[in-house]
Structure 1
Amino acid sequence: MRAIGKRVIAFGLVNVPVKIYSATEDHDVSLHQVHDKDGGRIRYQRRCEIDGEIVPYEHIVKAYDSGDQTVVLTDEDLSSLPEERSNEIEVVEFVPDDQVDPIMFERSYFLEPDSRSSKAYVLLRQTLEATNRTAIVKFALRQKTRLGALRVRDGILMLQGLLWADEVRQPEFSSLSETVQITDKELDMSSKLVASYESDFEPEKYDDDYQIQLQKLIDAKLEQGDTIDTEATFGQESEGEKGEVLDLMEALRRSVEKNRGEKGSAASAGKAGGSKVSGERATRGSRKKAG
């Protein structure tokens, strides 16, 4: 895993330097949008409404629309905020573990000690375990101030982002306002049904059936030849769409396959430089790999 940042857990006069790692990842099959008529890749362009030009990411900044006026906020403006500059994970209180409602949980991060001595890290971990407490913290990450819960999972300190209180909606269902009578026999039978399903939760027993079936469908179409040419599908990129080469192995693989195809075709044998992968094709190959 690659760390996404470094922070210092601060509670009292104790500082615990840590590295932050994303605790979860997405394994969904990557899909693109194409034109059903000819299979051409559908692309979304970042076009300026004033001059009509396509704008590359490095020239795009954020803005706030107040209705009558628009305030432009540059990266420098946002990074100048005191909370954004802070590298602390500030412990504000310790609460009983069962007082943190799971509905508030957002993203999860693993924390690794980032110092020669991990004693402060281990001390905090053992303290949380011994007291059955969760540390409520405030921290800044990716230009956003966050509330978090610091707890222990399998001997590792875990930081879980929390929603702010006003981000959790209050349910108002009129259908639950009416009185419903449940008999003892109904409740007893329902409890027996629950008992018949009782088990220990083992998340590894479950698979994402949709993604498995989707991959089987894709593999079947590849095997049956129900495909279209990838290069023709991706089309020609404009200057504003070129990106960084992300996957060298994918570029090399496509180079070898393209070179073999050209050697087997007399019509394309005279194309000079045809075996080389341009920066655009390497970019397209890497994007196809990365989804």
Structure 2
Amino acid sequence: MRAIWSGTISFGLVALPCQLYTATEESGPGLHTVHATCGGRIRHRRVCELEGIEVQQAEIARAWEAPDGRQVILRDTDLEALPLPTKHVIEVLGFVSTDEVDPILYSRPYWIRASGAGAQRPYALLVEALSRSGRLAICKVAIRSRERLAALRPRHGMLLLQTLLWPEEVRDPGDLSSSSPLTDRELAMAEVLMDALAGVDIDQLHDEYTAALNSLVDAKASGGELAVRPEPAPAVDLMAALEASVEAARQARGEDN
């Protein structure tokens, strides 16, 4: 892994030099965009709509447009020069219990590594203190010239920084709830189904879409076609569907045992 950020965790008067590493990566076969009739690669070029010429990356900037059409051009150097105190500091604002952070706010995770021999002891202290307390450290940090909220928490004896969405970034869905009445029997059967399906080993789950896509690529490469699975018909009767689901779950668990 390559560090994407270097700086210091600051909590109270304790300073912990550290580096951030991206904790996740996308998986998949990596498909290209091509012209369907001939297979030629589709290239996305940066073209100026006023001059009609292709623009190099070094000439590209960002802009804010005023209501009257005037633009304020911002270059990378302008953004890098923003006077953010969190540019090289993960500023711990306070500590909260894990259930105080709505899971909808969680965004990207980063592993944290202590930098240098002098950072090892405060790193170990923060990991152990967070583990014992069951709390998260709520922080501010600027990554790639943008300041974000973040949660600092222990994981497998290491520190994990997980960026958070700002509360205003979460859309208000309005009222999407259902007013449909439910019977006690339906609720009881739903609980029976939940009990029958209790326990999932997430580490044993795999990306079936990628596996199916690889099978499709192999079939196409050999001149064949992939068999299409029939879609299950939706059940009309809720109780019948619940009862059938419970029976299927029990049979599946019995086979697994």
TM-score normalised by the chain length of structure 2: 0.81
Residue 81 of structure 1 corresponds to 82
Residue 52 of structure 1 corresponds to 52
Q: How does 1:257-272 map to 2 (within 5 A)?
A: none
The 1:198/1:13 distance shift into structure 2, 3 A limit, reads same
Q: How many residues align?
A: 223
1:216 shift after superposition = 1.8
**More helix per residue:** 1
Residue 33 of structure 1 corresponds to 33
Residue 202 of structure 1 corresponds to 201
Q: Secondary structure at the match of 1:91?
A: strand
1:221 shift after superposition = 3.0
Q: Secondary structure at the match of 1:171?
A: coil
- Maintained 8 Å contact 1:84/1:141: no
- Maintained 8 Å contact 1:78/1:84: no
The 1:57/1:197 distance shift into structure 2, 3 A limit, reads same
**AA aligned opposite 1:221:** K
Matches of 2:94 and 2:224, distance apart in 1:
60
Question: Which 10-residue stretch deviates more, 27-36 or 105-114?
Answer: 27-36
Q: How does 1:1-291 map to 2 (within 5 A)?
A: 1-67=1-67, 68-83=69-84, 86-117=87-118, 118-173=120-175, 176=178, 178=179, 180-199=180-199, 201-224=200-223
- Maintained 8 Å contact 2:10/2:90: yes
Residue 252 of structure 2 corresponds to none
Matches of 2:219 and 2:85, distance apart in 1:
49
The 1:85/1:75 distance shift into structure 2, 3 A limit, reads farther
Matches of 2:24 and 2:219, distance apart in 1:
29
Matches of 2:213 and 2:149, distance apart in 1:
37
Residue 251 of structure 2 corresponds to none
Q: Secondary structure at the match of 2:92?
A: strand
1:84 shift after superposition = 7.3
Matches of 2:36 and 2:185, distance apart in 1:
57
1:171 shift after superposition = 2.3
1:223 shift after superposition = 3.9
1:102 shift after superposition = 0.8
Residue 232 of structure 2 corresponds to none
- Maintained 8 Å contact 2:127/2:159: yes
Matches of 1:181 and 1:218, distance apart in 2:
47
Q: Secondary structure at the match of 1:53?
A: coil
Structure 1: runs of 5+ lacking an equivalent: 227-291
1:219 shift after superposition = 2.5
1:174 shift after superposition = 5.7
1:184 shift after superposition = 2.9
- Maintained 8 Å contact 1:150/1:157: yes
Matches of 1:85 and 1:123, distance apart in 2:
22
Matches of 2:52 and 2:184, distance apart in 1:
70
The 1:146/1:225 distance shift into structure 2, 3 A limit, reads same
1:85 shift after superposition = 7.1
Matches of 2:6 and 2:202, distance apart in 1:
30
- Maintained 8 Å contact 2:87/2:145: no
Q: Secondary structure at the match of 1:138?
A: strand
TM-score normalised by the chain length of structure 1: 0.72
Residue 247 of structure 2 corresponds to none
**AA aligned opposite 2:60:** I
**AA aligned opposite 1:19:** Q
Identity %, equivalent residues: 41
1:70 shift after superposition = 0.7
Residue 249 of structure 1 corresponds to none
- Maintained 8 Å contact 1:79/1:85: no
